[in-house]
Structure 1
């Protein structure tokens, strides 16, 4: 499961002190948690974001409980489920006993498919750009590398990286406008 491996790697690197990887872990996980909670709080859509934030805070506070031999998604799902149950109790929601809490397959499946399709579409769009625009966008905007790191990696100057990102994004925006 690709998302499981990615989340596990980011979390372990984050726990080892890599702040940037920990931020990425929280960002990726929040997308999946949002989908999980949105399905269960269909009647209360305004509550989803608050519960996502509460769950992320609980995950952060309980990060020391994560065991490297345990799937990250199972650990995150358990904490999200407890937060959801707490919310139902606090709001005395009638019928909360009928809300499915344990469908683990739902936690990531839809979002994985959507994300895979978006990555494929983005990849096709990026392939239309020359390397001097495509590579800076991939490294800076998608992978989160700095301009300096990207310059070293690609052999471009720092200003060429900045210009490549700017011109590449402008070209992508024009192509997207042309598609709609």
Structure 2
């Protein structure tokens, strides 16, 4: 398995800093700042682009205060992504704005964490089990697997319009259920 050079460098700096190397720690924070700025800038709408630097600083502070929670056996960039993602979600909640950038844009910077994938698949199955089976399958096929609405509708012998309505209602029900709305 070939290791990403960014992962190798950042992980090495993190391990050295955890062992007390102050120079490595300063280098780590500088490198993280350079990686986090474009990460946040891509995710923010133009109206909130000026918040990117605040998010970088909040994330660097979180890395500093939570650095002892990093598991040395796991990829560093996966841990960093979790920290940055949580800071971004906190920002979105504070600003009451909607996420608009696909998560796939993380691929060039962050390592792939197989454990997180298994947990996400399990969580997704649990969430989709709260809506009717056909609706859950339509949502999974179109929003997770990347199938078109027409393809997903054909599997269930539905019209494309009926599938769109089912998907819309299912997503609305999930949003209300998991965003604290009426049940």
Fold shared, TM-score > 0.5 on shorter chain? yes
Task: Call closer, same or farther: CA 1:9–1:2 in 2, change over 3 Å.
Answer: same
State the Cα distance separating 1:108 from its structure 2 match.
5.9
1:70 paired residue among 69, 74, 86: 74
- RMSD of equivalent CA atoms: 1.8
Task: Call closer, same or farther: CA 1:102–1:61 in 2, change over 3 Å.
Answer: farther
1:27-176 superposed matches below 5 A: 27-43=30-46, 44-93=48-97, 96-101=98-103, 103-107=105-109
How far apart are the structure 2 equivalents of 1:2 and 1:98?
29
Task: Call closer, same or farther: CA 1:56–1:81 in 2, change over 3 Å.
Answer: same
Q: TM-score, normalised by structure 1?
A: 0.56
Contact 2:6 2:109 in 1 (8 A): no
Contact 1:36 1:106 in 2 (8 A): no
State the Cα distance separating 1:11 from its structure 2 match.
0.7
State the Cα distance separating 1:97 from its structure 2 match.
4.2
How far apart are the structure 2 equivalents of 1:18 and 1:97?
37
**Structure 2: segments with no counterpart, 5+ residues:** 112-183
Structure 1 counterpart of 2:140: none
Residue 107 of structure 1 aligns to a residue in which SS? coil
Are positions 1:6 and 2:3 aligned together? no
Structure 1 counterpart of 2:19: 16
Say how many residue pairs are matched.
107
Contact 1:51 1:83 in 2 (8 A): yes
1:25 paired residue among 6, 24, 28: 28
How far apart are the structure 1 equivalents of 2:21 and 2:49?
34
State the Cα distance separating 1:103 from its structure 2 match.
3.7
State the Cα distance separating 1:59 from its structure 2 match.
0.9
State the Cα distance separating 1:104 from its structure 2 match.
2.6
How far apart are the structure 2 equivalents of 1:105 and 1:79?
16
State the Cα distance separating 1:48 from its structure 2 match.
0.3
**Structure 1: segments with no counterpart, 5+ residues:** 110-180
